[in-house]
Structure 1
Amino acid sequence: MKLDLGNPAWRSTLPPARSVASDAPVSACAFSRDGKTAAFALGDGRVRLLPADVNNAAAEAQEPLHKGAVLSLIGDPLNDGFISGGDDGRLLRIAADGSASEIAVQKGKWIDKLAPHRANGTVAASAGKMALVVDKAGEVREFGPHQSTVTGIDFSKDGSRIACSHYDGITIWSIGQVVLPPRRFGWRGSHVALKWSTDGKFIATGTQENDIHVWRIAQASDMRMAGYPAKVKSLSWSADARWLYTSSQPVFTAWPFAGKGPEGKPPLQFGEEGAGLITVVAAHPSAEFVAGGYDSGELQLGDIKMRRSVVLKMSDASPVSALAWSPDGFRLAIGNENGDMLVIDLRR
């Protein structure tokens, strides 16, 4: 993928985009597996589907699928639809035409964290103190309970394990052919986000204490990176696992994980200081780019190789709450707390 952020066109004009407004905040967004559709989870129970083609004026106005807010949304690893979770405890599979079927229900619990594994078609979800894993045949397995609510969930690279963050650390569960006892990695305090590295070697969490914690899985060693002005709620690994991007700074912040890792090294910070702090960060699926949404509403695209960034969307006072890349990396979906939904085409 070639995106030359040094091209004057990036700084003189904003890229093509289409925008749809709602009266409910956006909690999550995702692209379908084929990249043709972007979906947005809304606080009024709806999942809004938009064509990824910014020149396509069609927009599906779905009826509410959940009773209450839709809290989580991912692309379905099995087909070209989506998976959603809500505060009604329902886990739904949404087809490309907007129709939905129930996968599981957890009465009295919220399903607010989801993770897909595309290679094996498996989905992981949080439900209170439990973790759920749904395989491609539709079988639902439960893991837990954990000592507190599961605050983050993600798959290992090969899909044979899931990691769950909770109070005082993380727990790794074996879900493959070989069933092993769960592994516990402890660190005091509340962990509010979790991401397993794309090479499978590290697990990172954001904590209530305005820092991040990273475990090196093979050696069971850990490291702490502090100094953030706010809680780090968004983490994203580069496609090659060389960088861990984090929210809660006014510029792009990337910790180096190539070679010996970040021990004793400062993070790489680059780009133009935004109008506030980054609330959501999303690494490009294949190239050396990263997108960051701010609490001011601004959206930037960063190039870690050139150490520069450009503004894709100006500030509008509504914090960016969701970001997602299309599978081919040429489009971005963005949602904010005001209910605005955008699809941006980055091809020049």
Structure 2
Amino acid sequence: MNQTLAPAAPPPSVQPALFDVLARSWQLDAPVSSIVLDRAGKTTAFALADGRIALMPLQDPDSALGRMRVEADSGRSTIRPREKPVAPPILTEPLAEGAAFLVPSGVLGFVTGSRDGRLNRITPRGQVIALTRKTEPLSALASDGQGRLAIARDGQTSLHAEEGMERLFGLLTPGSAHALAFAPDGQSVAVMTDHAVFLWQPGHRSSRHPLGGRQALTFSPDGNWLAAAQDQGFWLLRLSDGRTARLGRFRATPATVAFSGAANAVFASGAFRVAGWSLATPPFDDEATGALRTGRPGLVLVERVAPHPARDLIAFGMADGAVSIAQVGQADEMALRHADGAAITALVWSADGTHLAIGTAQGDAALVTLPPQLFK
């Protein structure tokens, strides 16, 4: 996809900064740990470090999409400032000690889990419905978005029906799983412990790969690849033949590893620029093979990366709070949020790529609506 990123608004001297015009933002008084959008694509949930969940609708009565105008003589796009006040978020009570596990519900809204074992469903209006009050410690949680939950406890991962919490299948593992991920087709679950990842088809035998870790476990959109962070880098597994690439020498362990279907590439945070590799020429034997130089190198670490769901674009958030968007393989960046000293801790696109959700270590949360005219 050949496209150019360009701010579609007049210079800053004419109107407020791009973020101020496009974003709804809130101060939530606790760091944002993760962000999830519901299956319906209507509500965003921000998990906070104090155990609360903040809920915001994606729909905006004064959206930037409705405030954009195209001048007939020049074709230039302008966005008028917001006129209606931003509605406050819905906040739940603390549902965990520390940040709750947060996943989309296959029934309604979201499911949260706490490390002491409690599971709750959160409706888009903020109602909390207990699914289980077990006190058996929980170490990881995943949802297929279709009504099944994978739950990891000490030495065992179980598959449950969300409605009624019936246990369907179980997998024994040596030690607790630290991360779980459903394949895009929902037929298998990746279960990652310190020293291994298990590819489990519930009801069938699992395969084991010596690729452990504790975070950022994710499948590619086509289900052909699996990746996860490890110390100072990440590993990449091609599922068709089990071949593995290990990418290291990062400045920090990546907090996110993410795939771009549009660019057929994989990206990771933890370096001084967006680190990415083309899957058409995977870096099995040499880390330089297929490397994609995206954005400009700097002196501040990239903390979060989020590939656009449909375009070959990637959003990235920095340790100083800045957020930018770049085209894969290009140096040019579109600055979206200026640095304020608080690291970006969560960055998620909506399924249609219209909205970008942002969370920071200082408790700032934002939903940015990005008109397609921004990406010429």
**AA in 2 matched with 1:235:** V
Q: Distance in 1 between matches of 2:191 and 2:10?
A: 40
Pick one of 49, 52, 58 that aligns with 2:55. 49
**AA in 1 matched with 2:250:** Y
1:143 matched to which residue of 2? 170
SS in 2 for 1:224: strand
Shift of 1:301: 1.4
Structure 2 CA distance for partners of 1:182 and 1:44, relative to 1, 3 Å: same
Q: Count the aligned residue pairs.
A: 339
Asked whether the equivalents of residues 154 and 164 of structure 1 are also in contact (C-alpha less than 8 Å), the reply is yes
**AA in 2 matched with 1:154:** A
1:262 matched to which residue of 2? 283
Structure 2 CA distance for partners of 1:275 and 1:116, relative to 1, 3 Å: farther
Shift of 1:241: 7.2
1:111-260 equivalences in 2 (<5 Å): 111=139, 113-118=140-145, 120-135=146-161, 137=163, 138-141=165-168, 143-175=170-202, 179-187=203-211, 190-208=213-231, 210-240=232-262, 242-258=264-280, 260=281
Q: Find out whether 1:14 has 2:18 as its counterpart.
A: yes
**AA in 2 matched with 1:157:** P
Structure 2 CA distance for partners of 1:199 and 1:318, relative to 1, 3 Å: same
Q: Which 5+ residue runs of structure 1 have no aligned equivalent?
A: none
2:77 matched to which residue of 1? none
Shift of 1:254: 1.3
Asked whether the equivalents of residues 197 and 241 of structure 1 are also in contact (C-alpha less than 8 Å), the reply is no
SS in 2 for 1:328: coil
Structure 2 CA distance for partners of 1:315 and 1:193, relative to 1, 3 Å: same
Asked whether the equivalents of residues 262 and 312 of structure 2 are also in contact (C-alpha less than 8 Å), the reply is no
1:286 matched to which residue of 2? 310
Asked whether the equivalents of residues 148 and 161 of structure 2 are also in contact (C-alpha less than 8 Å), the reply is yes
Pick one of 101, 104, 107 that aligns with 1:75. 104
Shift of 1:160: 1.1
- TM-score, normalization by structure 2: 0.81
Q: Distance in 1 between matches of 2:316 and 2:123?
A: 29
Segment drifting more, 161-170 vs 263-272:
263-272
Q: Distance in 2 between matches of 1:10 and 1:235?
A: 35
Structure 2 CA distance for partners of 1:108 and 1:124, relative to 1, 3 Å: closer
SS in 1 for 2:100: strand
- TM-score, normalization by structure 1: 0.87
Shift of 1:95: 0.9
1:279-318 equivalences in 2 (<5 Å): 279-304=303-328, 306-318=330-342
Asked whether the equivalents of residues 294 and 329 of structure 2 are also in contact (C-alpha less than 8 Å), the reply is no
Q: Distance in 1 between matches of 2:189 and 2:11?
A: 42
**AA in 2 matched with 1:196:** F
Pick one of 132, 156, 164 that aligns with 1:104. 132
Structure 2 CA distance for partners of 1:302 and 1:24, relative to 1, 3 Å: same
Q: Distance in 2 between matches of 1:238 and 1:307?
A: 17
Segment drifting more, 162-171 vs 64-73:
64-73
SS in 1 for 2:9: helix
Asked whether the equivalents of residues 275 and 298 of structure 1 are also in contact (C-alpha less than 8 Å), the reply is no
Larger Rg: 2
RMSD: 2.6
Structure 2 CA distance for partners of 1:288 and 1:124, relative to 1, 3 Å: farther
Shift of 1:343: 0.9
**AA in 2 matched with 1:46:** R
Pick one of 59, 79, 84 that aligns with 2:88. 59
1:88-99 equivalences in 2 (<5 Å): 88-99=116-127
Q: Distance in 1 between matches of 2:101 and 2:263?
A: 25
Q: Distance in 1 between matches of 2:125 and 2:349?
A: 21
Identity %: 27
Shift of 1:103: 2.5
